[in-house]
Amino acid sequence: MGTNALAASSHLSSTSTRQHPRFHLRRAAKTHSSSSLYRPCRGTFHRGRIFCASDDDENNNNNKNVLSFLCPLLKLIGGGDAAKPRNRTLEVATSGFASIARIQYGKTVLEECIQRRKQQPKLILYEFEACPFCRRVRETLSMLDLDCEIRPCPKDGRFRKEVLERGGKETFPYFVDETSGKEMYESADIVNYLYEKYGNGARVPENYFTSTLITGWMPTLFRAGRGMTKYEPRKEGFVKPQSGNIELFNYENNQFARLCREALCELELPYTLRNVGAGSPKRETLTEAGGKSVPFLIDGDVKIGESDEIVAYLFEKYGGGYVPEKQGA
Ligand SMILES: N[C@@H](CCC(=O)N[C@@H](CS)C(=O)NCC(=O)O)C(=O)O
C-alpha cells in the first residue's frame, strides 16, 4: 500500500475487520448544575441565551482575522465536487501529511484526563471538517477524551439553520453543552471552556491558539477542502435514507479517521464521535463494540473497521450509489 510510513504518524492505524468483501453486516451490540465560564465574559443576548464573546489574546485575534479570510478562499479553490472519484493512495497520503502537520494535537489523551469519567457530558458540535477553527475544538475533544454529537454543516447544509436559530449567525464552530446549558461560538472560547470544565486541571497547550495560524489550516489545504461541500447525489430519484444512530470511533489526528469524517460531513450525516485517543480508558468500549482500531463505524447493524470501506459504505447508502475510486483502481 505504501502508506505504512504515514500510518506510523497515527498511533492507531486502521486495520480491517474484513468479514465481508465490502461491509459486513453484524448485529450491533446494544449498545448540572449550571456552570459558568470561569472567567468573566463579554456577553451578548440572543433568544434568551447569553453568548460569550471572545476575550482572547491579541495573537488569537490576529489568527482569527487571517483564517476568517482564508476560509471562504479555500471554499473557492478546494471545495469543488465532493463526488469526484479520487485516488486512494493520494487520499491516504494527503491525510497523512495533514496528520503530520498537527502531530502534537488530537491524538494523545492528556494525562489529567486518563481516567474514566463518571458521566460523559452531552455535547453537541456544529462544524465542518475543513474548518481550522472546528478542528481546534475536535482536537480538544480528543485530548480531553470527550465524546460529542456532531452535526455536520457543509456549505448550504441542513443543520445550518439550526445554528442560525440558536445563535443568530452562521459561523462555525457552534458548540452546545446540554449538561450545563452553555452554548457558544468562537473556537477559543469553546476550547477554554472545555479545559476549564472538563480538563481536570489540564491546561491549554502553550501556543495552541497560535498553532492554528501556523499549521491549523494545513489539513484543509492538504485535503483540498474535503469536508466542506455538501454532496449532491448523482442518481436521479435517489432518496437519501434516514440515518439512525451512527457512531464513529476515532481520534482527531488519525489519518484514516479524517477520511471518514469528511464523508460524514459531505453527506451531512449526524453522528456520535467517540474519541478514543492514545491512553483513552474508553478504548474498552471500542473493543466491546467489536472494533480493533480506529476508525470504526457503527450504523445500526453494520460495523466496519476499514476507512475505505466506511467511505464506500456511506456514499453507497446515503449518497445514491456513488463509490469513490478504490486503491489501485
Ligand atoms: N473566530 C471564529 C472564526 C470562525 C470562522 O471564521 N469560521 C468560518 C469557517 S472556517 C465560518 O464559519 N464561515 C462561515 C461559513 O462557513 O459559512 C472562531 O474562532 O470560531
- Which residue's CA is minimally distant from atom 15 of ligand 1? 171
Question: What are the start-end ranges of the H helices in the chain?
Answer: 4-7, 58-78, 88-101, 132-143, 160-167, 187-198, 208-211, 218-222, 255-266, 283-288, 307-318
253 within domain boundaries = yes
Does ligand 1 have an atom closer than 6 angstroms to the CB of 220?
A: no
Q: Is the CB of 94 under 6 A from ligand 1?
A: no
End-to-end CA distance of the chain: 13
The count of other CB atoms within 10 Å of the CB of residue 317 is: 17
Which stretches within 102-131 are classed as H helix?
A: none
Looking at the domain assignment, is residue 53 inside a domain? no
How far is the centre of ligand 1, averaged over its atoms, from the C-alpha of 258 (Å)?
Answer: 20
Residue 42's pLDDT is what? Answer: 40
d(Cα 230, Cα 235) in Å, to the nearest integer? 15
Question: What's the confidence (pLDDT) of residue 71?
Answer: 57
pTM: 0.79
- Let me know if residue 324 belongs to a domain: no
* 43 within domain boundaries: no
Nearest CA to 107 out of 73, 141, 81 is that of: 141
Residue 47 domain-assigned (yes or no): no
Assess contact for 14 and 256: CB atoms under 8 A: yes
Q: Nine-digit cell at 317?
A: 447508502
Residue recorded with cell 465532493: 82
272: domain range?
A: 4-38+58-318
- Cβ–Cβ < 8 Å for 131, 154: no
C-alpha 60 – ligand 1 centre gap (Å)? 14
User: What is the 228 CA–ligand 1 centroid distance (Å)?
Assistant: 12
Q: Is residue 328 part of a domain?
A: no
* Residue located nearest, by CA, to atom 14 of ligand 1: 171
Cα–ligand 1 centroid distance for 172 (angstroms): 5
Residue 16 burial (CB count, 10 A): 14
Work out the burial of residue 97: count CB atoms within 10 Å of its CB; fewer than 13 is exposed, 13-18 middle, 19 or more buried: middle
Residue owning the nearest CA to atom 10 of ligand 1: 131
In the chain, which residues have pLDDT < 70?
A: 1-86, 321-329
The pLDDT score that the predictor gives to residue 83 is: 57
> Among the atoms of ligand 1, which is closest to the Cα of residue 71?
10
Cis peptide before 219 (omega within 30 of 0): no
Amino acid of residue 306: E
Is residue 26 assigned to a domain? yes
Residue at grid coordinates 447508502: 317
Q: Cα dist. 178→123, 137, 156 in Å?
A: 6, 16, 25
Helix (H, G, I), strand (E, B) or coil at 170: coil
C-alpha cell at 32: 448540572
pLDDT at 324: 52
Q: Is residue 326 part of a domain?
A: no
The CA distance from 66 to 57, in Å, is: 15
User: Cβ(133) to ligand 1 under 6 A?
Assistant: yes
Report residue 151 CA to chain centroid gap: 10
Residue nearest to atom 7 of ligand 1 (CA): 172
The total number of structural domains in the chain stands at 1
